[in-house]
Amino acid sequence: MRILIADDDQSMRFILKVQLESWGYEVISCKNGTEAMDYLRSEDPPRIAILDWMMHGYTGIEIARELKDNTPLIYVILFTSKTAEEDLVEAIEMGAHCFQTKPVSPGVLKSHIEVARRLIDAEDRLQDQERQIRIQCYSAIANLAEKRHNLTGTHMKRISIYSRLFAEQLGMSKEKCEDIALYSSFHDIGKVGMSDTILLSPDTYSKYEKEIMKTHTLIGYDILSSVSTLRTASLIARHHHERWDGTGYPDGLSGESIPVEARIVTLADVYDALRSERAYKSAWAHEQVVEHIKEESGKTFDPRLVKIFLEHHKTFKAVFDGTAVEKA
Amino acid sequence: MGELPDFNRERIAVLFGNDLTICKQVLDILKDDLPSHLDQLSESIGEQDSRQIYKTAHTLKGTLANVGADRGSSLAQRMVLASQENNFEYCRKLYESLVETTETFLAEFQELAFENT
Per the domain annotation, does A182 fall within a domain? yes
**Mapped to the 3 state alphabet, what secondary structure does A58-95 carry?**
CCHHHHHHHHCCCCCCCEEEEEECCCCHHHHHHHHHHC
Per the domain annotation, does A139 fall within a domain? no
- The pLDDT value given to residue A153: 63
**How far B104 CA lies from chain A's nearest CA (Å)?**
18
pLDDT in tens, A217-228: 999 999 999 888
**A191 flagged as catalytic:** yes
Whole-complex ipTM: 0.85
- The pLDDT value given to residue B105: 96
Per the domain annotation, does A7 fall within a domain? yes
- The pLDDT value given to residue A328: 43
Query: Can you identify the CATH homologous superfamily of domain B9-113?
Result: HPT domain (1.20.120.160)
Q: Where are the domains of chain B?
A: 9-113
* B55 vs A: CB within 8 A: yes
CA distance A103 to B66: 4
Q: How many domains does chain A have?
A: 2
| Beta carbons of B33 and A106 less than 8 Å apart | no
CA distance A113 to A133: 30
pLDDT in tens, A114-162: 999 999 999 999 988 988 888 888 878 777 777 776 665 688 889 999 9
Q: Which residues of A touch B33 (CB under 8 A)?
A: 9-11
The low-confidence residues of chain B, meaning pLDDT below 70, are: 1-2, 116-117
- The pLDDT value given to residue A152: 58
Higher local confidence (pLDDT), B72 or A324? B72
Least confident among A30-39, A63-72, A105-114, A161-170: A63-72
CA A228 remoteness from chain centre: 12
Q: Are residues A225 and A308 in the same domain?
A: yes
Instruction: Report the mean per-residue pLDDT for chain A.
Output: 90
Average pLDDT in the A47-74 region? 90
Give the count of Cβ contacts less than 8 A between chain A and B: 52
CATH code for the domain of A99 = 3.40.50.2300
Average pLDDT in the A237-257 region? 97
Q: Are residues A99 and A212 in the same domain?
A: no
Integer angstrom CA distances of residue A149 from A43, A135, A152, B84: 40, 21, 9, 77
pLDDT at position A274 over 60: yes
Q: Which residues of B touch A10 (CB under 8 A)?
A: 29, 32-33
* A10 vs B: CB within 8 A: yes
Per the domain annotation, does A205 fall within a domain? yes
Average pLDDT in the A232-255 region? 96
Q: Are residues A205 and A276 in the same domain?
A: yes
CA distance B87 to B93: 10
Q: Which residues of B touch A21 (CB under 8 A)?
A: none
Considering the candidates A191, A210, A294, A314, report the single residue annotated as catalytic.
A191
Q: Are residues A294 and A223 in the same domain?
A: yes
Per the domain annotation, does A12 fall within a domain? yes
Per the domain annotation, does A141 fall within a domain? no
Nearest to A12 among B16, B55, B63 (CB): B63
Q: Are residues A157 and A295 in the same domain?
A: yes
* A8 vs B: CB within 8 A: yes
The DSSP output letter for A44 is S
A101 is in which domain, residue-wise? 2-123
CA distance A112 to B100: 36
Q: Which is nearest to A3 in space by CA: A14, A17, A53?
A: A17
Residues in chain B: 117
Q: Are residues A197 and A60 in the same domain?
A: no
Higher local confidence (pLDDT), B97 or A54? B97
Query: For residue A298, is it left (φ>0), alpha (ψ between -120 and 50) or beta?
Result: left
CA distance A180 to A160: 8
Start-to-end CA distance of chain B, whole Å, equals 33
Per the domain annotation, does A256 fall within a domain? yes
The torsion angle over the Cα atoms of residues A66, A70, A73 and A75, rounded to 10 degrees, is 0
Average pLDDT in the A187-208 region? 84
